[in-house]
Homo-oligomer: A and B are copies of this chain.
């Protein structure tokens, strides 16, 4: 318990303790090159006994290789991003790559800062959410000379590779399904559309599809912050009070949609008979609710794993830049009539 020796152990310490040259110790510890079983054993013993932990900083500098993959996402509390991470993790665990996460809070300036910070560690690749980045960020990404996978969204041009779904198309398909089911007075409830590009694109896709049917959004309401379920209730109550004749509500995510649905059930609305509802994401968390909201899967896990796979393949020189668009189907749940 005596806190002596603030100097961390080095290869040299292991070398001296084992009577083997630093170079050979290094080889043993990295499993590289041929080393006799006897020497190997000696080294391993010494390393373990001393409690040696290699210094990757020095290693990375010397070898010019870093087994880190920068993952840059807006937030951890959005619940979709942890799931993307899960997919990334599952694939990277099969390689010697390690994810390192940076958070942007949906702020372009912060994204730029975080990116700079991460790139300064010279990662082997970058997985970054979205296709919208500041010019400086794009420049950094291009100049980094490493594989870059932009994820979640495919409505735009990637810097290098991309994996995601078309949110515009998702909005359009939902719009079409809504019309086909015969709904006509449609309200939209969502996050402020300013910084969440994907929510904005879904909204645009929706309005586009409705326009083709000669319909316009009848009402809309935005929020930010707070507990999503509770917000969904509030917003729904507000909108239905203001506009009692609405016959469909499209939410920008499942959580606020679920809040809205709970409110509808309590108030005794006939869903989906007299009013339909739909959200977005396909959040599994909500599976236990009394009724299932119509939604569309955002393929988070698969996006994560595909992105990680692209990076991993590139490391082995086996990969090319790729653009992958996944095409989720509508889940009608209990709140959207089939057309």
Which residues of A approach B to under 8 Å, CB–CB? 3, 5-6, 8-9, 51, 53-58, 60-61, 66, 76-77, 79, 82-83, 85-86, 89, 98, 100-101, 103, 116-117, 119-122, 139-140, 143-145, 227-233, 255, 258-259, 262, 266, 284-290
Contacts and interface: CB of A to CB of B under 8 A. Distances in A.
Given A120-B56, A121-B56, A76 B85 contact: yes
B6 A145 contact: yes
B227 A285 contact: yes
The A interface is mostly helix, strand or loop, or mixed, namely helix
Contact of A229 (B83, B117, B285): B285
23 contacts: A8-B144, A9-B143, A51-B139, A53-B116, A53-B119, A56-B122, A57-B60, A57-B122, A58-B61, A76-B86, A77-B83, A77-B86, A82-B82, A98-B117, A100-B100, A100-B101, A227-B284, A229-B289, A233-B288, A258-B288, A259-B288, A262-B288, A262-B290
Contacts of A60: 57
Contacts of A143: 8-9, 51, 53
> Which of A9, A61, A255 has the most chain B CB within a 10 Å cutoff?
A61
Contacts of A86: 76-77
A98 B114 CA distance: 10
Given A139-B51, A227-B285, A227-B288, A5 B145 contact: yes
Given A98-B117, A227-B284, A140 B76 contact: no
Contacts of A233: 288
Nearest to A66: B57
